[in-house]
Amino acid sequence: MKPRYIATALALMTFAIPVSSQAAWPEKPVTIVVPAAPGGTTDMATRLLGEKLAKELGVTIVVENRAGAGGIIGSQYVAKAAPDGYTLIMGNIGPNAINYSMYNNLSYKAEDFRAITMVISNPNILVVNDASPAHNVKELVAMIKADPQGYSFGSSGTGQSPHMSGELFKQRAGIEAQHVPYKGAGPAVTALLGNQFAFMIDNLPSSLPHIKSGKLRALAVTGDQRSSELPDIPTMAEEGIPDMVVTAWFGLFAPKGTPQDVIDKIYSSTKAALDTPDLREKYKAMGGQAGGNSPTEFTQFVSDEQQRWADIVDNANLAISN
């Protein structure tokens, strides 16, 4: 066969091979976007996972913080990223469930992402500055009711689970407090340490170190049972606040169109990382539980969460025109 015919035949064979199979994935560093500021649960969980995932995949894992707008900035960035597996996001209950019903004009859709697996889940916790006169939920409620216009609460961003937990707490307890959003749990916790607002219902991992150091006082958890890390702290139900069970969750997502074989590789490698005893123990020490469910299971879970929060937002009339 003449050289030009050989070259033509090889070219045709190359075009016949699916793009995702032409090269072994991954061949370069993988970026996991954190749609929040450093120091919060999303950031901490991602960096711990990244260390293990880098060993499983054999490439560098780059953690990139793109904070702002309750997770919207980072989410819309990843929604528009190339679907090649090299840009992922540590999504969570806010941008990947609550936001779809919270905002009337969102810059991304649920269909823009492929769910891969749950990474960590944990209850939220009601905390106040240690200097606060409130030593339990009843005292906090009484304090706020005595001066309805005098108190505010902070959160990691509008639409995030700490914000929604705060709104639910206001409804269930019959109190008023102005919401003060921050660009992530890290800045919000720092503000509470500075006594800049009255209370926060934070993801447990980002407040836990400060609770243990005595700088923040924990009043109640939003789980259906007490946390193993804080067994002396009651649940909201035990404190007389009914129907206040909120579990925050965090998981990996890829842009839509990411090839199935790449999704499968990310999942299997992440599952192996999450199954290591030391990572599970580190997540437990944060007050969380390691995940690892399949893409199919996680997709269904996220869909159920989107519907659950749509009902909550609708019933509470919390939707925002943006």
At 92 the three-state DSSP class reads strand
Q: Is the pLDDT of residue 150 over 50?
A: yes
* Distance between CA atoms of residues 4 and 7, nearest Å: 5
pTM for the complete prediction?
Answer: 0.84
User: Mean of the per-residue pLDDT values for the chain?
Assistant: 91
- Which helix (H) or strand (E) segment holds residue 255: the answer is strand 247-255
* pLDDT confidence tier of residue 123, bands split at 50, 70 and 90: very high
21-121+248-316: which CATH number, 3.40.190.150, 3.40.50.1820, 1.10.3720.10, 3.90.380.10? 3.40.190.150
pLDDT value of residue 265 = 98
Q: Is the pLDDT of residue 214 over 90?
A: yes
Cα angle for residues 151, 156, 157 (degrees, 5° grid):
90
* pLDDT confidence tier of residue 6, bands split at 50, 70 and 90: very low
* pLDDT confidence tier of residue 319, bands split at 50, 70 and 90: confident
Cα 226 to chain centroid, rounded: 21
Q: Where are the domains of the chain?
A: 21-121+248-316, 123-221
The percent of residues above 70 in pLDDT, for the chain, comes to: 92
Largest CA distance in the chain: 93
* pLDDT confidence tier of residue 7, bands split at 50, 70 and 90: very low
Q: What is the per-residue pLDDT across 275-287, written as a single tens digit (0 to 9) for each?
A: 999 999 999 999 9
* Token pair 């499968």: residue: 264
The percent of residues above 90 in pLDDT, for the chain, comes to: 79
Alpha carbon distances (Å) from 306 to 95, 97, 167, 280, 300: 10, 4, 18, 27, 10
Q: What is the DSSP letter of 69?
A: G
Q: Is the pLDDT of residue 75 over 70?
A: yes
Look up the CATH superfamily of 123-221: Periplasmic binding protein-like II (3.40.190.10)
Q: Is the dihedral of CA 42, 43, 46, 48 positive or negative?
A: negative
Q: Is the pLDDT of residue 110 over 60?
A: yes
- Which helix (H) or strand (E) segment holds residue 179: the answer is strand 178-181
